[in-house]
Structure 1
Amino acid sequence: MLKRMFTAPDPGRTRLRFAARAVAGIGAAVLVCGAAGQSLPGTVAGGLAALLALFTVADATVRGQAVTTALLPAVGLPVLAAASVLHDHPVARDLAFLAVTGAGVYARRWGPRGHSLGVFAFMTFFVAQFLHTTPGQLPALYAAVLLSVATAAAVRFGLWCYERRLPAPATPAALPGTGLARVTTRQAVQATAGAGFALVVGHLVSGDRWYWAVGATWWVFVNTTSRGETLVRGFRRVLGTVLGIGLGLLVAVPVDGAPLPSAALAAACVFGIFYSAAVSYTWMMLCVTLLAELLYGLLGVLTPALLALRLAETAVGALGAALAVLLVLPVTTHAVTDAWIRRALRAVHACTVETAARIAGTEGADPAPRVAELEQLLGRVRLSVAPLTHPLNPLRARRRRARRVLALLDDCARQIHGLAAVAADPVASHDARLTAACRRVEAAVEALTTGPGAGPLPERPERPGAREPVLAHLHGLEHALAELAAPLRHPAPLGLDRA
């Protein structure tokens, strides 16, 4: 876990810039709220709104990101009003929270924008419970949210706008299905059921901090699709919380809400959340837990007993998510894995074709967006296969096969990156053998993705010389695709055609 956190590839230092910009944007939002005379609760609400605006918005274009960011208050402020009005009506409040949970997950069917708005709506209701918001506080909190989202947007789209057109994030909405066969519909039902369990049991554990359990259930469902993914995510959430609480006892409790040390540590936590999100959910949860502890320290309520309560409520939420995905409209791991592997293999082919066109001198050909899309899809494959490769998986043969698939897909990605690097060289020139090799890659992908009736993979050509880097990368790509045939066509379920 530690090794992957610091050795995971970061092409173009994207994760580093993502994290650094988050610290700048959220820090600026907090300063603006303070300058505007906001109280500590208002500043906390504003900081969290800025964090969500920078963390969850992931449309494919900068313009799309700007539109989604502008829509966040339109969704969040009415939810904040409802939560505050229902503050003294527990039954109505709890039912409204469950409705927001289900709607927030269901919104993923509309892609990245629906996902972002759903997360913001849920977290707005959650923050209202965190701050015990009442109607009288609404004007100040509205101002804090609007100021913070605007400040975060100014940093993201003005001071530090490094994005260009990006591939649309790989989300469950992209998977096939209608009605109850649609993954997002099933997940909405599952999340509502799991949150209902967490809400009831969370109330039994604590009448004041019950919403922690609901929040744990919600975040276990974010960016997961199958029951296996959700179970692994729940385990990692609890593990990250345990580690975060242990660190909090050493750091947050001794700091005891001192403003300057708390602010510096909070900035480090924000950086850790954004930097680790793409590579380690456990590390991200450690940072989230420590950040929450620092905020409770600033509010003057942090104690070791509160940390023990947070762990208990997190465990309840993870259990609620586990029961929901196992018992309510389960989505099998291998069915989801199949879909993501198919998309990744087709992205491999698209990268190859775009690179060949670039080398051939085709105007406008650019493999970079295709390579970025492939990286996203491989991330989804890793997440989907994680339950199969987990050390606690008792099916050792299946675990080995899943790891083999991941290794070969990673090899494909390495060869694609090599091809893209060659394509960026202005002296690279077209070669007839390049076209033939690209056609063999297309045939290999077709043979892997069209089902068990497909013919055998093409034979691999002789290895090219060291002075022909393009053909060397294509040869490596063909080799990896050929090697994938055995684990993917195995009779036991794992990937293609074994749903």
Structure 2
Amino acid sequence: MVLTQRKPWARAFVPPADPGLVRLRFASRGVLGIAAAVAACGLIGQDIAGLATGGLAALLVLFTVTDPTVRGQAVTVALQPLVGLPVLAAAALLHGRPVTGGLVFVAIGGLGVYARRWGPRGHTLGAFAFMCFFVAQFGRVTPATLPSLCVAVLVSVAVAAVVRFGLWCYERRLPQPVPPTPPAGGTGLRRITTRQAVQVTAGCLFSLPVGHLLSHERWYWAVGATWWIFVNVTSRGETAVRGFRRVLGTCLGALLGLVLTLPLHGAPVPSAVVAAVAVFGIFYTAQTSYTWMMLSVTVLAQALYGLAGLLDGHLLVLRVAETLAGAAGAWLAVLLVLPVTTHAFNDAWIRRAVRCVHACTTEAAARLAGHPGADPAPRVAELEALLAQVRKTVAPLVHPLYLGRERRERARQVLVLLDECAREVRALVSVAADPEASHDARLAAACWRVEAAVEALTGPAAGRLVETGRREAVAEGALAHLHGVERALVALAEPLRASMPAGAATPARV
């Protein structure tokens, strides 16, 4: 089998496919919702701080809410102001007390990460609370300006909710894959969310004084960079790669600012256009490239500071320096405080993906056999989500800066073979959906061999490959795709077993 994979630099600059134009809809709705919220805030007389606060609140409503059902999303959106407004009030009361305010900010960040143990809603509410304190530093909120900013938050959340659930609720018409939950992590400090909360707190405590040394006014950039690096990561390898990509995206955004936002001198109309394009970029690239998303975030921040009349070359350099400080805080935290190795999660995610391949083939075969309740589509959506998670956890091993060449090649081979499994499964499901398709007795035997290959990779006797026998030449599409899945699974055993330590029980590790 010839293994091909796009080079890292090519993946960075060539956008991936957008099946169903889901990312395009997501980004377009984001621009519409934020523009409507900012316009509503402008109509009630908000200044630039109020417009920025309202725009950020709308962005969080449209961007961070990921509950699996529309009803659950609506409940989370309704809870966001209940969490965010008290934090905004605390930031106002602590105005002029940088040390105390910074420590409270760090505490809110730690609690926000700890809240992830309650799933997507906990993550969303934690992010909203953290960003309310963050935007309060940008707007320099005081007790006198607090009521106005609270109104901006309430108005923006309401407008964004109308856009999300009323004008453009595409979730009601498109099946949304549920993000896979992390493997169980025990209790206490063995629980991932608890360990991450401790790590985030430690990282923010490092970046806080460094941020103050760089700037007494923009110190919160460093703390914010540390906190956001920990979003959607679990291991130290993932965190290190995410920190690198955040710094790279910020540097590229700052360079772009020299030729794009800085020459505008804060002109309202072109700055607003640049901000809208940047918002679109944030939403469109969020699921595919953290570097491109951070570039868009940096351009958006520059456009806002330009509108406030604060943008200059020094601010661009400071943005990069504060981001470096934040990334350094995150790197030190994951290396020194309760580290979670990349290997600890590769094994679990690969096992789940391989098991899901088997579940997909079983459902598809049952559909071909005429079972009315068999529906492989949800399993395929689950497989896509699991493969995305596998790519993320394996990303540190295939990163160009990773020095272990042999291990990097094995990890790339695993990704290629898993993608091959996914392609064959998608094709099999398409065949099963054909009303003219009928059951063939050989499908059961082929599905059994797929199950045997899965057991060879994930079962207790994984060290011994199952003999799959002779591959008979078949013309039927379903059987051919099942054989393709089988071949890819058997081929997976070699790179996974090659990375096993002596005496290990399973090769499902890279």
Give TM class, smaller chain: over 0.9
Q: Show the counterpart of 1:245.
A: 254
Give the residue type in structure 2 aligned to 1:34. Answer: G
* Aligned counterparts of 1:430 and 1:497: Cα–Cα separation in 2: 33
* Aligned counterparts of 2:147 and 2:376: Cα–Cα separation in 1: 49
Alignment map for 1:282-321 (pairs within 5 Å): 282-321=291-330
* Aligned counterparts of 1:141 and 1:443: Cα–Cα separation in 2: 61
- Pick which of 327-336 and 158-167 moved more: 158-167
Give the residue type in structure 1 aligned to 2:52. Answer: V
Alignment map for 1:348-497 (pairs within 5 Å): 348-451=357-460, 453=462, 455-459=464-468, 461-462=470-471, 464-466=473-475, 468-492=476-500, 496=507
Q: Show the counterpart of 1:230.
A: 239
* Aligned counterparts of 1:36 and 1:384: Cα–Cα separation in 2: 46
Q: Tell me, yes or no, if the aligned pair for 1:170 and 1:377 is still in contact at 8 Å.
A: yes
Give the residue type in structure 2 aligned to 1:36. Answer: I
Shift of 1:497: 5.5
Of residues 16, 30, 43, the one that matches 1:8 is 16
Kindly indicate whether residue 177 of structure 2 is the aligned counterpart of residue 170 of structure 1: no
Q: Tell me, yes or no, if the aligned pair for 1:452 and 1:497 is still in contact at 8 Å.
A: no
Secondary structure at the counterpart of residue 169 of structure 2: coil
Distance change >3 Å, CA 463–CA 141, structure 1 → 2: farther
Of residues 75, 91, 96, the one that matches 1:88 is 96
Distance change >3 Å, CA 182–CA 420, structure 1 → 2: same
- Pick which of 322-331 and 263-272 moved more: 263-272
* Aligned counterparts of 1:140 and 1:341: Cα–Cα separation in 2: 50
Shift of 1:498: 5.4
Secondary structure at the counterpart of residue 311 of structure 2: coil
Give the residue type in structure 1 aligned to 2:180. Answer: A
Secondary structure at the counterpart of residue 170 of structure 2: coil
Q: Show the counterpart of 1:111.
A: 119
Distance change >3 Å, CA 497–CA 434, structure 1 → 2: closer
- Pick which of 121-130 and 33-42 moved more: 33-42
- Pick which of 96-105 and 153-162 moved more: 153-162
* Aligned counterparts of 1:241 and 1:397: Cα–Cα separation in 2: 31
Distance change >3 Å, CA 240–CA 443, structure 1 → 2: same
Secondary structure at the counterpart of residue 136 of structure 1: coil
Q: Show the counterpart of 1:121.
A: 129
Give the residue type in structure 1 aligned to 2:113. Answer: V
Kindly indicate whether residue 105 of structure 2 is the aligned counterpart of residue 97 of structure 1: yes
Of residues 150, 155, 158, the one that matches 1:150 is 158
Q: Tell me, yes or no, if the aligned pair for 2:407 and 2:499 is still in contact at 8 Å.
A: no
Shift of 1:175: 3.6
- Pick which of 80-89 and 438-447 moved more: 438-447
Give the residue type in structure 2 aligned to 1:114. Answer: G
Shift of 1:360: 3.0
**Count of aligned positions:** 497
* Aligned counterparts of 1:454 and 1:426: Cα–Cα separation in 2: 41
Of residues 70, 75, 99, the one that matches 1:67 is 75
Q: Show the counterpart of 2:4.
A: none
Give the residue type in structure 2 aligned to 1:51. Answer: L
* Aligned counterparts of 1:362 and 1:462: Cα–Cα separation in 2: 27
Aligned-pair Cα RMSD in Å = 1.9
Q: Tell me, yes or no, if the aligned pair for 2:493 and 2:507 is still in contact at 8 Å.
A: no
Give the residue type in structure 2 aligned to 1:83. Answer: A
- Pick which of 344-353 and 250-259 moved more: 344-353
* Aligned counterparts of 1:231 and 1:3: Cα–Cα separation in 2: 19
Shift of 1:460: 5.5
- Pick which of 434-443 and 254-263 moved more: 434-443
Distance change >3 Å, CA 425–CA 6, structure 1 → 2: farther
Distance change >3 Å, CA 104–CA 496, structure 1 → 2: farther
Runs of 4+ with >4 A deviation = 1-5, 452-455, 491-499
- Pick which of 320-329 and 106-115 moved more: 106-115
* Aligned counterparts of 1:48 and 1:239: Cα–Cα separation in 2: 23
Distance change >3 Å, CA 496–CA 201, structure 1 → 2: farther
* Aligned counterparts of 2:167 and 2:507: Cα–Cα separation in 1: 45
Shift of 1:455: 4.2
Distance change >3 Å, CA 221–CA 460, structure 1 → 2: farther
Secondary structure at the counterpart of residue 498 of structure 2: coil
Distance change >3 Å, CA 478–CA 69, structure 1 → 2: same
Q: Tell me, yes or no, if the aligned pair for 2:457 and 2:508 is still in contact at 8 Å.
A: no
Give the residue type in structure 1 aligned to 2:122. Answer: G
* Aligned counterparts of 2:460 and 2:253: Cα–Cα separation in 1: 45
- Structure 2: tracts of 5 or more residues without a match: 1-8
Secondary structure at the counterpart of residue 135 of structure 1: coil
TM-score by length of 2: 0.93
Distance change >3 Å, CA 66–CA 356, structure 1 → 2: farther
Shift of 1:364: 4.1
Distance change >3 Å, CA 73–CA 22, structure 1 → 2: same
Of residues 196, 208, 216, the one that matches 1:207 is 216
Q: Tell me, yes or no, if the aligned pair for 1:126 and 1:215 is still in contact at 8 Å.
A: yes
Of residues 260, 277, 283, the one that matches 1:268 is 277
- Structure 1: tracts of 5 or more residues without a match: none
Q: Tell me, yes or no, if the aligned pair for 2:88 and 2:136 is still in contact at 8 Å.
A: yes
Q: Tell me, yes or no, if the aligned pair for 1:76 and 1:120 is still in contact at 8 Å.
A: yes
Secondary structure at the counterpart of residue 489 of structure 1: helix
Give the residue type in structure 2 aligned to 1:327. Answer: L
- Pick which of 372-381 and 330-339 moved more: 372-381
Of residues 126, 134, 139, the one that matches 2:147 is 139
Identity over aligned residues, as a percent? 65
Shift of 1:93: 1.2
Give the residue type in structure 2 aligned to 1:16. Answer: L
Shift of 1:461: 4.9
Shift of 1:423: 2.6
